[in-house]
Amino acid sequence: MNDKIPQGPYCAVFKSLTKKDFLSTINHHMLSFLGRDPQRAGSRDLYKALAYTIRDFLVERWIATQKGYYAKGKKRVYYLSLEFLIGRSLGNSLINLGFYDEMAGVLQEMGYDLEEIREEEDDAALGNGGLGRLAACFLDSLATLGIPAYGYGIRYEYGLFYQRIVDGFQMEYPDNWLRYGTPWEFERPQNLYPVKYYGRVQRYRNNKGELRTEWIETKEIMAMACDVLVPGFNNDNVINMRLWTAKASREIDLGSFNRGNYISAVQEKVQSETISKVLYPSDDIREGQELRLKQQYFFVAATFQDILRRHKKKHEGFDSFADEIAVQLNDTHPAIAIPEFMRILVDEESVPWDKAWQICVGTFGYTNHTLMPEALETWPVELLGRVLPRHLEIIYEINRRFLELVAARYPGRDDLLREMSIIEESPVKRVRMAYLAIVGSHSVNGVAELHTHLLKTRLFKNFHDFYPGRFNCKTNGITQRRWLLKCNPGLAGLITDTIGGEWVTNLDYLRNLEPYAEQAKFRQKWAKVKTENKKRLAALIKQECGVVVNPNTMFDVQVKRIHEYKRQLLNVLHVITLYHRIANGEDTDSPPRTVVFGGKAAPSYFKAKLIIKLINSVAEVINNDSRVGDRLKVAFIPNYGVSVAEKIFPASDLSEQISTAGTEASGTGNMKFSLNGALTIGTLDGANIEILEEVGAENIFIFGMTTEEVEAARQNPDHNAFTVYRDNPEVKRTLDSIGNGSFSRGDTALFAPIVEGLLNSNDPYLLLLDLEDYLRCQKEVGALYLDQPNWIRKSILNVARMGKFSSDRTIREYAREIWGVPVD
Ligand code: IMP
């Protein structure tokens, strides 16, 4: 037997390692880290021992990477995000180290299955959806491109809730992902910073007689760093995601303890530590709770102390700060960093205001993620002033100076002053965090072309007029390492065998697949991979939903957060329409479909949760109707998250991207589907438009109103969803069947809010106005699916033309155009 571990195509890391070394490392970790007898170890022990083994490799490379940054003195990038939706790390690390297949082989010889071992890892679900997953994809690209970058966030003890479906309803359970500990992090008790809250502001004169300000009588908690190492692909770069965990400032309050008040002493410790306890499960819903504000400030304050510590090691003063450091704010969640940095510079470092402001604006970039005004974050002045009194003062000062400039530019325009003020003068005064972020950053970017255009012309028009050039577009992307190479080994292997492996670090190489779309033999291989993936998903659906589905049917999939604007309900209306047609013998020529849903609803979002119930109720009726059989099946896969997604995208035929035009900022699920060979049915919204541009109109199914048409319809009091219902018998039959209890065992009250919402002409998401065109378009989809060679041809072309949607391209654009960081 060859004692050398076989080398993968990208492997540089394990060159000198023998199988014997490898086994003894695993055994060592099993014994000394886990205290387990290697001969009696189960797959969880093996998973952990394997993770520790890989972590050893990562940490050596991380130190070398960090030393390289110091040696080269390159500009550093700090990506601040309240969410990092990482998912699992074992498979990804093995892939990026170039050792996945080889490790699987070694484990097989030991009698273990790597796939099974990987299932032991809990997802790190430290994010809600697209925004958090984007941050995770960005870290992968930053590491792969060798950019000196750090992710900063919070190490939530409980990530996004675990979703179960009970009697068709979503039930939320705590996501206790740390219950067995996570082998991927390094706790850094030496990197501990105090974070202050409450207290009051005091002015005093220093010994030079200058008026100074200080923030006193505060309550303090401590932030401790936990580092998760993120390897680049095949390049020995390892970067750091530093997540903060809250610790009481003293283990227990000794004063209270000595007075015999043991319980209150312990209580203070518990309360301090709640700061990093749980991720807020909101998604495009405005949250305004004190704990959330404290979380935001907690991670920003700790992060800035860390940034400044590192800066001060090599630099005197702050003159070159913005040339040395770029800070990107992922949405407004970290925007309190702007007044925090000003407070540090002005109050603690005695930098004059104007100079401090120049440094501040030069340092920050802000990424906006939403088009919906109601999703923009604001904080009540009263709350912010109580928790962070000095920051509120600074925000007022920033606003005063900003409005002076506005007044000078537009004399007499009090309306503009009111509209652009960082302070909203509503009955409850609020701080508009998006405005603060725009004013305090040199760059404001949208996440798709349409989104950026709408920011400039609608949501932030006044600001775009005032700051020409500040707004720019960075269309989102996804990492092909996780979203093709790792999640779809069958397709990735076929592609690499056909055109070589360069696409893994340069996704534009996929273009070389185009000619193969015309070859019948290649198409057969392509179809075979898809069918195998569908068989695996069918097994998952059986296991998770108890529904038996046929892998030879079209897999029509919508997975994403459940939200009215994303219009899962529109999809349900199509499903019900199909059901009636099939059950009544009106449809004999459309291909059999398996319609798959997945996604979580915010626990407080009644309508979204009712939509989940409707999907499950409709599924129950259809799946049990013998007239239907395989012609139509519906499944709601519970607990949608990164790991479930990795199983769904490779098995999908049709990708549902059907939000109301002008509501979805970008979407990234749309890119993951296409990259795995699904065709898209979608509206002209978010990045769908750019997918259309890339793949060509003949390779995508577009329907529905444009953003302009949506706006016109909303402004037209005569537009009436009711007339669609009244005049289209098929639509009427569909809606009536929801209303009359056909899917709710005769209960007409359960889904009444849904039917009423649809027939109300104020329906903000205009479902019925798009429904007829959607039904038409779905017929086209069905017809094409029956022509399998053509369908597969288009599937290949979709993959071949996805080059633009690599997060490597996105990160290159951020680096060059926002951060001023050179990149190869
Ligand atoms: P930090 O940048 O201070 O957070 O340290 C991260 C890692 O970078 C350390 O564990 C060291 O390996 C390395 N490092 C820290 N300071 C220096 C330095 O001044 N020169 C070279 N490497 C350093």
List the catalytic residue out of 36, 48, 242, 369.
369
Hey, whose CA ends up nearest to atom 10 of ligand 1? 63
| Residue of 62, 66, 324 to mutate, ligand 1, most atoms within 8 A of C-beta | 66
Contact 635, 616 (CB under 8 A): no
Q: How far is the CA of 290 from the centre of ligand 1 (A)?
A: 35
pLDDT digits 0-9 by tens, 412-432:
999 999 999 999 999 999 999
Nearest C-alpha neighbor of 194 from the set 217, 214, 224: 224
Is the confidence at residue 325, as pLDDT, over 70? yes
Between 39 and 648, whose confidence is greater?
648
70 lines ligand 1 (CB under 6 A): yes
Q: How far is the CA of 69 from the centre of ligand 1 (A)?
A: 9
β-pairing verdict for 701-702 and 430-432 = unpaired
Q: Give the Å distances, CA to CA, from 751 to 573, 618, 737, 738, 742.
A: 13, 11, 10, 7, 10
Between 479 and 106, whose confidence is greater?
479
Q: Which bin fits 42, alpha (ψ -120 to 50), beta or left (φ > 0)? A: beta
Is the confidence at residue 264, as pLDDT, over 80? no
Sheet with 443-446: strands ordered across? 185-197, 219-231, 238-248, 149-154, 76-80, 325-330, 364-367, 443-446, 471-473
φ and ψ at residue 766, rounded to 5 degrees = 50, 50
Query: Which DSSP symbol is given to 170?
Result: E
Radius of gyration of the chain (CA): 27
Q: What is the pLDDT of residue 1?
A: 31
Is the confidence at residue 668, as pLDDT, over 60? yes
List the catalytic residue out of 668, 683, 707, 810.
668
For range 294-301, the mean pLDDT: 98
pLDDT digits 0-9 by tens, 142-191:
999 999 999 999 999 999 999 999 999 999 999 999 999 999 999 999 98
Percent of the chain, pLDDT > 90? 84
Q: What is the pLDDT of residue 73?
A: 87
Is the confidence at residue 7, as pLDDT, over 60? no
Residue with token string 């603060």 = 436
Residue 384, token pair as written in the block: 């912010």
Q: How far is the CA of 313 from the centre of ligand 1 (A)?
A: 10
Q: What is the pLDDT of residue 256?
A: 62
Is the confidence at residue 322, as pLDDT, over 90? yes
Is the confidence at residue 6, as pLDDT, over 90? no
Between 443 and 715, whose confidence is greater?
443
Q: How far apart are CA 548 and CA 399, in angstroms?
A: 60
Residue 439 confidence class, pLDDT cut points 50, 70, 90: very high
DSSP labels, 405-465: HHHHHSTT-HHHHHHH-SEE-SSS-EEEHHHHHHHT-SEEEESSHHHHHHIIIIITHHHHH
369 classed as catalytic: yes
Between 103 and 806, whose confidence is greater?
806
66 lines ligand 1 (CB under 6 A): yes
Hey, whose CA ends up nearest to atom 3 of ligand 1? 310
Reduced to 3 states (helix: H, G, I; strand: E, B; else coil), residue 684 is coil
Between 73 and 225, whose confidence is greater?
225
Contact 449, 471 (CB under 8 A): no
CA atoms lying within 13 Å on the CB side of residue 261: 9
Q: What is the pLDDT of residue 10?
A: 43
Q: How far apart are CA 803 and CA 475, in angstroms?
A: 13
Residue 14 confidence class, pLDDT cut points 50, 70, 90: low
pLDDT digits 0-9 by tens, 714-744:
888 676 788 899 999 999 999 999 999 999 9
Q: How far apart are CA 379 and CA 296, in angstroms?
A: 12
Q: What is the pLDDT of residue 227?
A: 97
For range 248-267, the mean pLDDT: 69
Between 45 and 401, whose confidence is greater?
401
Cβ-in-10-Å burial (0-12, 13-18, 19+) of 425 comes to: exposed
Q: What is the pLDDT of residue 16?
A: 63
Q: How far apart are CA 688 and CA 661, in angstroms?
A: 10
Nearest C-alpha neighbor of 645 from the set 581, 602, 599: 599
Cβ-in-10-Å burial (0-12, 13-18, 19+) of 363 comes to: buried
180 lines ligand 1 (CB under 6 A): no
| Residue of 59, 61, 62, 70 to mutate, ligand 1, most atoms within 8 A of C-beta | 70
Q: At what angle do helices 19-32 and 43-72 cross, to 10 degrees?
A: 100
Q: Give the Å distances, CA to CA, from 232 to 98, 136, 229.
A: 10, 12, 10
Residue 172, token pair as written in the block: 């939320």
Hey, whose CA ends up nearest to atom 1 of ligand 1? 310
For residue 48, the surrounding DSSP H or E stretch is: helix 43-72
63 lines ligand 1 (CB under 6 A): yes
List the catalytic residue out of 566, 574, 609, 801.
566
Contact 618, 743 (CB under 8 A): yes
pLDDT digits 0-9 by tens, 349-391:
999 999 999 999 999 999 999 999 888 999 999 999 999 999 9
Query: Would you say the pTM of this structure is higher than 0.75?
Result: yes
Contact 74, 815 (CB under 8 A): no
Q: What is the pLDDT of residue 286?
A: 63
Q: What is the pLDDT of residue 21?
A: 76
Q: How far is the CA of 66 from the centre of ligand 1 (A)?
A: 6
212 classed as catalytic: no
DSSP labels, 752-803: HHHHHHHHSTT-TT-HHHHHHHHHHHHHHHHHHHHSHHHHHHHHHHHHHT-G
Is the confidence at residue 435, as pLDDT, over 60? yes
pLDDT digits 0-9 by tens, 592-646:
999 999 999 999 999 999 999 999 999 999 999 999 999 999 999 999 999 999 9
Q: Mean pLDDT across the chain, nearest whole number? A: 94
| Residue of 58, 65, 67 to mutate, ligand 1, most atoms within 8 A of C-beta | 67
Nearest C-alpha neighbor of 27 from the set 42, 44, 47, 49: 49
Q: How far is the CA of 148 from the centre of ligand 1 (A)?
A: 12
For range 425-448, the mean pLDDT: 97
Hey, whose CA ends up nearest to atom 22 of ligand 1? 67
Q: Give the Å distances, CA to CA, from 156 to 171, 252, 294, 431, 803.
A: 20, 22, 13, 26, 34
668 classed as catalytic: yes
β-pairing verdict for 632-637 and 593-598 = parallel
Q: Find the Cα–Cα–Cα–Cα dihedral 565, 567, 568, 573, rounded to 10°.
A: 150
What CATH number was assigned to the domain covering residues 531-810? 3.40.50.2000
Hey, whose CA ends up nearest to atom 4 of ligand 1? 310
Q: How far is the CA of 67 from the centre of ligand 1 (A)?
A: 6
3-state helix, strand, coil in the chain (%, to 5): 50, 15, 30
Q: What is the pLDDT of residue 251?
A: 58
For the chain, which residues make up each domain, given as ranges?
531-810
Query: Which DSSP symbol is given to 629?
Result: G
Q: How far is the CA of 70 from the centre of ligand 1 (A)?
A: 7
Q: What is the pLDDT of residue 588?
A: 86
Q: What is the pLDDT of residue 9?
A: 43
> Measured at the alpha carbon of residue 569, what is the angle toward residues 331 and 131, in degrees to the nearest 5?
15
Is the confidence at residue 193, as pLDDT, over 70? yes
List the catalytic residue out of 36, 672, 793, 812.
672
Residue count of the chain, please give it: 824
Reduced to 3 states (helix: H, G, I; strand: E, B; else coil), residue 147 is coil
Is the confidence at residue 755, as pLDDT, over 90? yes
310 classed as catalytic: no
Hey, whose CA ends up nearest to atom 23 of ligand 1? 67
Q: How far is the CA of 65 from the centre of ligand 1 (A)?
A: 9
Q: How far apart are CA 499 and CA 55, in angstroms?
A: 32
Residue 128, token pair as written in the block: 């809600």
Q: How far apart are CA 12 and CA 7, in angstroms?
A: 8
Query: Which DSSP symbol is given to 661?
Result: T
